[in-house]
Structures are given as C-alpha cells and as structure tokens.
Structure 1
Amino acid sequence: MQNSDIDAGLTPPPLMPKVERQRLHDTVVEHIRRFIVEGVLEPGKKLNERELCETLGISRTPLREALKVLAAEGLIDIEPNRGASVSKMSEAELRETFELMSGLEAFSGELAAERMTATELTEIKALHYAMLACRAQNDLAGYYSRNQAIHDKINEAARNSALRQTYIAVNRRLQALRFRSNFQIPKWDSAIHDHDDMLKALEARDGKRLSAILRQHLLDKRDAVLQVQSREDAAAAKLKA
C-alpha cells in the first residue's frame, strides 16, 4: 500500500520550473537590453548589480545569467574581479560595423522588394504611419521601436536565413547607436524622409532603389553617431581637464 500510495502521489511537472525560469531569464535580458538601447545605461557605464536587482525586482542569479547573454551579444563587457560594464565601441569599430550593416540592409531591401507579400507590405505601411504619429508627439522611444520593426520586417521578407542570422547579430550591437542618431531633430526628420522613400520603393517593387536608400540611410546613421560621440568625448575631456 505504501508503494502504491507513493506511486499515486502528485509529482510536480518537471517542465514547469524550467519554463518559469526561462521566462524570467528572457524578461531580464530584454529589460537590460532596452536600458542600453534607450541610453538609461550609457556606453562605458559600470553596472551596479545591487541597483539593477532592486530596479528589476530579482536576485543576482538571473541578473548574472542575463549579463552573460548580453556579453555574448557584444552589449556588455565582463572582466574578472571588475564586474560588468556597458560596451563602448571604438571609432574604427563603429565605422566598420555600420558599413557592414549598410550592406546587410541593402541586400535585405533588394530581396524583400521581390519576395514581400501584400500582407507584409500592409503591415509595414501601418508601422510607418504609427512611426509618424510618434514623431508628431516627440515620442522617440515609440518612434524607434516602430522604426526598428520596419527594418526587421524588411529583413524577414528577404527570406534568407543566413542573412537573417547575421543581421540580428550585427544589429544588436548597433541598436543603441541607431537610437542615439535621432537625438538631433534634423537627423530625425531626415530619417523619416528616408522611410517615406523606402515605402515608395517597396510599393513599386524597386529593389535596386530600395537597396540604395537603405545603404545610404545606414551610412547617414553612422555619420550622425560619430558626431554625437565626438561631442560627448570632447565634453568629457573638458571635465577631466
């Protein structure tokens, strides 16, 4: 009887803790990634684990697991006995990575113009108009999320898995910088003009045109980011003097 009682007892489903743990893990990664993208955690900033744990309402174990993921993505630097800090790209690295991204975006546009479905085009149009509404309200975070969704959907519509994987990996390193490129209103409005042209090229299924627009769009982002970084570096140098 005792054995049958044990056999008949309730056993916790073995997958439940793993599912909950994974959800927490993904949520923490996403929160910190957003902090980095939106500049809450600035490039070069040393991370205070206690403060992050309090902000996110978590223990140090899921935080450290999340930091390892972000380190693998190139967003966080972890040094033994010195802790973690937000990665800061050198000028040369920034230039080269944006150049690479301009090529990836251009190729995505060329393929997407051929392969995008009518439904996907409709979704991009909806995101475009939502993005314009955010600009009218000076909602940079809302604008950026829709902006990135447009670029992401163009890349998905290219239907090239090798391109997709490379795009995701490179774009993660540039998201915070792409966000910062809109800090100046003229740069922000110029980006919107580019998106108007992108939409027209998509509607016309003009892959060559869309490719050229996307390539220059990313190179303009590079130049805007370099300007911002140069001013910030100069201001930091003055404070140290």
Structure 2
Amino acid sequence: MGASIAITNRSLHDQVAGRIRDLIIEGTLEPGSRIDEAHLIEELGVSRTPFREALRTLAAEGLVIVRPSKGSIVRKLTPEDVFSMLEVLANLEKLAGELACERASAEEIDALVDVHERMMECYRARDRMPYYKLNQEFHSRLAELSKNETLQEVQANIQARLKRIRYISNEKPDFWAGAVADHEEMVKALKERDGQRLGEAMSTHLKRTWDRVRQSL
C-alpha cells in the first residue's frame, strides 16, 4: 500500500470505510488477518476516530470482526457459509427478477439496462474493480425494482457479506466471460419483461458463482 490511497477529505468516515472495503475485496487485507490499525491510519492519512467509525460500519456489513482490546480482523467465511448464502441469494434474486418484470416502470428498466451497458464497457476494457462495483449496483437495483422492502433488506445484507467472494468469482478470464454471458441473458429477459426467464437467469447466475469460487475457499 502506498500514498496513493490517502484520504483527501478527513471528515468523512464513509470514504475511509470505502477504501478499507476495497482493500478487503481485492485481498490486500486477507480473510482472517488482523487489521494493523496504526499502519492503515498512517497510510490513509486519517485520525483514529473516523477510522474506528469505518471499522464499525464494516463490522455491520459483516466484513470485519471488531474485538474489544484485541484488535479487529477481516472476517473469513467458511465454504459452508458461502454456499448457504449463495443458495439463499439465488432464490431471493430469482424472486426479485420475477417481481421486477411485473412492477418496474419503463424508466426504471431503462436505468438498469444502462448500468449493464456501463458494466460491459468496463469488461471490454478489462477494468475489474469498476466492473465489480457496477455489478453490485446492478444486483442491488434489481432488488429495489421488486418493490419489496423485506427482499431488499435481506438481499443487501447477504450481498454485503459476499463482497470479496463475488470479486474473486471473476478472477479467471473464462469465469468472467461466463458471468458476462449470464448478465447478457438477464438483460434480454428484463427488456422483454419475461419474469420467469429473468428469475431463472438470476438463480442460475448465483449457482454458477458457487462453482467459480468453491476452489478458492
């Protein structure tokens, strides 16, 4: 880590949380590792208070475990954890796809298609982190289009805990290409408002994510 990750606005703890989150997603801060607070505070150029607030935010997302008097560690998920979360998420997003096709406005669908198109631009440029963040946005916004607050809440909770897992699912070029093909199928169904087809595409996509990450856990 170098000076390039320094925070420019020290008053915003969400910026600090965003930088630490990226370090966890990219694997710079490895699962199960202790977070060196003094080193990161210096690297990020922030004071202890916003840093600690950022850790609490990440703990609420399930990315960090804060241990009083023992320091914080990056949460490490077991294969069983990941499988169970992806299993639930596959069924949640299947329902989200079906409901979105029934309930979303034309403008909302167009906006989601636009997120997909920006994802594809990042894929063509092989710009992985921006692609990943747009991918997270796509799944979150699809859940929003279900107009079901309970679904959105549970989906957001699971998606937050799986951030690193979803990132490593695209490490291999053929895995990334497969995920992109999945998204192309999703968007075709979305444009046609074919809820059953979109739901199945969402479910299949999450099941394939498990196949892509299981050997890395």
TM-score by length of 2: 0.90
Match of 2:49 in 1: 61
Counterpart amino acid of residue 117 in structure 2: Y
Query: Which one of the candidate residues 75, 88, 93 is aligned to 1:105?
Result: 93
Match of 1:210 in 2: 198
Match of 1:25 in 2: 13
1:77 is paired with a residue whose SS is strand
Q: Which stretch has the larger CA shift, 188-197 or 42-51?
A: 42-51
Query: Which one of the candidate residues 156, 163, 179 is aligned to 1:191?
Result: 179
Instruction: Tell me how far apart the structure 2 counterparts of residues 193 and 136 of structure 1 sit (CA, whole Å).
Output: 13
Match of 2:72 in 1: 84
Counterpart amino acid of residue 82 in structure 1: K
Instruction: Tell me how far apart the structure 1 counterparts of residues 35 and 214 of structure 2 sit (CA, whole Å).
Output: 24
Q: Which stretch has the larger CA shift, 121-130 or 82-91?
A: 121-130
Query: Which one of the candidate residues 46, 49, 54 is aligned to 2:37?
Result: 49
Instruction: Tell me how far apart the structure 2 counterparts of residues 38 and 114 of structure 1 sit (CA, whole Å).
Output: 36
2:72 is paired with a residue whose SS is strand
Q: Superposed, which structure 2 residues align to 1:1-241 within 5 Å? A: 24-229=12-217
Q: CA deviation at 1:30?
A: 2.2
1:40 is paired with a residue whose SS is coil
Counterpart amino acid of residue 77 in structure 2: M
Instruction: Tell me how far apart the structure 1 counterparts of residues 66 and 139 of structure 2 sit (CA, whole Å).
Output: 30
Instruction: Tell me how far apart the structure 2 counterparts of residues 39 and 117 of structure 1 sit (CA, whole Å).
Output: 38
CA-to-aligned-CA distance 1:61-102 (integer Å, 9 cap, x gap): 221122122222211112343211110001111111111111
Instruction: Tell me how far apart the structure 2 counterparts of residues 198 and 144 of structure 1 sit (CA, whole Å).
Output: 17
Q: CA deviation at 1:25?
A: 2.3
Q: CA deviation at 1:55?
A: 2.1
Equivalent residues, number: 209
What's the Cα RMSD here?
1.6
Counterpart amino acid of residue 48 in structure 1: D
Instruction: Tell me how far apart the structure 2 counterparts of residues 25 and 130 of structure 1 sit (CA, whole Å).
Output: 28
Larger C-alpha radius of gyration, 1 or 2? 1
Instruction: Tell me how far apart the structure 2 counterparts of residues 100 and 120 of structure 1 sit (CA, whole Å).
Output: 25
Unaligned 5+ runs, structure 1? 1-19, 230-241
Match of 1:15 in 2: none
TM-score by length of 1: 0.82
CA-to-aligned-CA distance 1:163-208 (integer Å, 9 cap, x gap): 1111111110011110110001111001111111101111111111
